[in-house]
Structures are given as structure tokens and as C-alpha cells.
Amino acid sequence: MSSILNSAITRRRLLGLLAAWPLLGGAAENPLAGFSRWGSGEFRRFGFLIYEATLWAAGDDPARPPLALKLTYRRSIAGKDIAEASVKEIRALGMADETQLRLWGEQMARIFPDVGPGDQITGLHLPTGARFFYNDRLIGALGDPAFANAFFAIWLDARTSAPALRSALLKRPAA
């Protein structure tokens, strides 16, 4: 009886893992399905190309969710550094208090992986929050609309620290 029970438990665990596989990043998916490409541009620091960014939107207004931002990295960067830079940018925009920034920073540090040249992180800004993909595999989500608004403001807010990139991203594609 014990071996039958253990077998049933093992089978249930295996089925549960298989069902959760896409949520654990085990299956690739196209996070840009249903979106139209808008503008793209480069982000540079001290003359060095850090990443190329491309904006995708589901509607006529690329600054309103749902939208997607795909960053293709050209340098190696630690995930914790990506999270810290994101917090710094959100802080500069004045979109959250320090307690909230600390919480978001911790959450982003758990989600964002270390990246190297050619790696891509795609963020989806949805009305209910944000989802993040690493090389088209889901790596995490934050079900907080305030976070999603603040995070995507890094690139899309008029007060961004990279106004030339913002202009390039918001450029309407040729018909």
C-alpha cells in the first residue's frame, strides 16, 4: 500500500511540475504575439553601447498598456545591477517612496538574470502588472500596476534620463 501511495504522490508531483513548466520558464513562447512593432533605438553610457531597445504595442498608443519593450544587451551585466539601475531611474522620476522602491528592487533582483551580449529581456506592461521574459522564457511577473507604470516610465515618461531613446521608441512605424 505504501508503494502505491508513494507512486501516486510522485505521479502527481510530476504532473504538477509539467503543468507549471511554462510558468517556471521551461518553455519558450513568443511574448510579442499580438503586438505591432514601433520604434527602436540604442542606449549608451559613456559612449559604450549597453543595449538596443524596441517598443511593441497592441494598440495605437505605444505609451499605454498593453505594450512590450525588448532589450537586446550588448554587454555583460549582472541581474542585480539591472535591478539597481531600474530603482535609480524610478527614484529619479519620483514615482515611488523609498519603502516601495526597496520592495520593487528586491523583487526585480530575484527576477532579472545576469545577461551577456545577445541576451534579451522583454518586459510586458499589462493593465494588471508586468511580466518578464529572458530569451523568450518567462522568468517572473509582478502583479502590481503601480510597479508596471513606474518601470516602463524609465523609457517612456517625458522626464526619462534618455530622451533620444524615448523619441526613437515612440516613433510611429512607416506604413
Q: Band of the pLDDT at 28, cuts 50, 70, 90?
A: low
pLDDT of residue 59: 87
The fold adopted by the segment(s) 31-169 is Chalcone isomerase (3.50.70)
Provide CB contacts within 8 A for 35, sequence distance 6+.
56, 57, 58, 66, 67, 68
pLDDT digits (tens, 9 = 90+) for 134-162: 999 999 999 999 999 999 999 999 999 99
Buried b (16+ CB within 10 A) or exposed e, 69-86: bbbbbbeebebeebbebb
Per-residue pLDDT tens digits for 72-125 = 999 999 999 999 999 999 999 999 999 999 999 999 999 999 999 999 999 999
pLDDT at site 13: 41
Return the domain boundaries, the chain.
Answer: 1-28, 31-169
